[in-house]
Amino acid sequence: MILLQAIPALQDNYIWCLYDPSVRRAWCVDPGDAEPVIQFLNQQQLDLMGVLITHHHPDHTGGLPTLMKHWPHLIVIGPTHSPTTVKINTPVVHEQLINLKGLSLDFKVLAIPGHTLDHICFFNDTYLFCGDTLFSAGCGRLFEGTADQMYASLQRLAALPQHLQVCCAHEYTEANVAFALSIDPHNVRLQRYQVAVQRQRRQQQCTLPSTLELEQQINPFLRCDDPNLQQTIAHQTQQTITSARMAFSLLRKMKDHA
Ligand SMILES: [Zn+2]
């Protein structure tokens, strides 16, 4: 049986770990720091087979050199167009199928540029590892790509099977929900979600994974085609909104300055 663990790292990152206790093998996603990964693997007596990298940022790759020293045969699957300083030994491209050796799991790669230009995600019929592109009730900042690229990438994720468990790389949910409610105050599911998230955070619990089904209901960045949302965004920015894409671009700027 495959299990999933969110390993907290750095300030508010999660390093997701997929593992099979019966064969004692594991893969992890975006190891920004090696120490908490090694600690978890030792605790569970697991051997690290490989790593998935969604994009080049240091809080997603900083643990690689140490992990590769501990496991010299480590498979590091990541974007083809990342800077060469990130030691990816198995570069992948859009729509490529990959197999997580030792766990007998297949994943598919999608290109989702916006937060960075090299950003990719990995999904199978259970999990979506979306790095810093989609957060619960939010989305990633635009460091390298354009708002149009990010909008298209989020649409690409939103079209995946709705039951997928959305494994985001940061615990940003509580602040994202507060911002979402300022745009979408009458959304009953969002109001209920805030109560649940606040309770989880008071107990220092992880609010993830989410699901795409939930995100479609509560995440304003996936709801830019909603006329009520567009009206609020138009009102708050004093702009005339002519498309969902334009609403997204304005909403992203509002969040940047929130
Ligand atoms: Zn990032």
Task: Point out the domain boundary residue: 56, 80, 107.
Answer: 107
In this structure, the answer to whether residues 250 and 131 fall within a common structural domain is yes
Mean pLDDT for the stretch of residues 105-129: 98
DSSP bridge partners of 4:
18
In this structure, the answer to whether residues 117 and 101 fall within a common structural domain is no
d(CA 11, ligand 1 centre) in Å: 13
CA distance 215 to 200: 17
% of the chain beyond a pLDDT of 90:
97
In this structure, the answer to whether residues 178 and 229 fall within a common structural domain is yes
What's the pLDDT at 160?
98
- H helix runs in 98-222, sequence order: 147-158, 173-183, 188-202, 212-218
d(CA 242, ligand 1 centre) in Å: 30
What's the pLDDT at 115?
98
The answer to whether residue 238 scores a pLDDT higher than 90 is: yes
Instruction: Name the 3-class secondary structure at 166.
Output: strand
In this structure, the answer to whether residues 143 and 245 fall within a common structural domain is yes
State the CATH number of the domain containing residue 31: 3.60.15.10
Task: Point out the domain boundary residue: 107, 139, 170.
Answer: 107
CA distance 250 to 67: 40
What's the pLDDT at 258?
86
d(CA 9, ligand 1 centre) in Å: 14
d(CA 184, ligand 1 centre) in Å: 26
Residue 84 — pLDDT band, cuts 50, 70, 90?
confident
Q: Which residue range is the domain that position 62 belongs to? A: 1-107
Model's pTM, two decimal places?
0.96
Mean pLDDT for the stretch of residues 117-124: 98
Mean pLDDT for the stretch of residues 21-30: 98
Q: For residue 242, what are its two tokens? A: 């002519």
The answer to whether residue 235 scores a pLDDT higher than 90 is: yes
Mean pLDDT for the stretch of residues 125-132: 98
Count, in order, helices (H) and strands (E) of the chain: 9, 14
Residue 129's nearest CA partner among 80, 79, 84, 86 is 79
CA distance 132 to 171: 11
d(CA 109, ligand 1 centre) in Å: 17
- Using one digit for the tens of pLDDT, what is the confidence trace for 158-208? 999 999 999 999 999 999 999 999 999 999 999 999 999 999 999 999 999
Cite the active site residues.
55, 57, 59-60, 115, 132, 170
23 vs 82 pLDDT, higher one: 23
Task: Point out the domain boundary residue: 79, 107, 135.
Answer: 107
In this structure, the answer to whether residues 246 and 186 fall within a common structural domain is yes
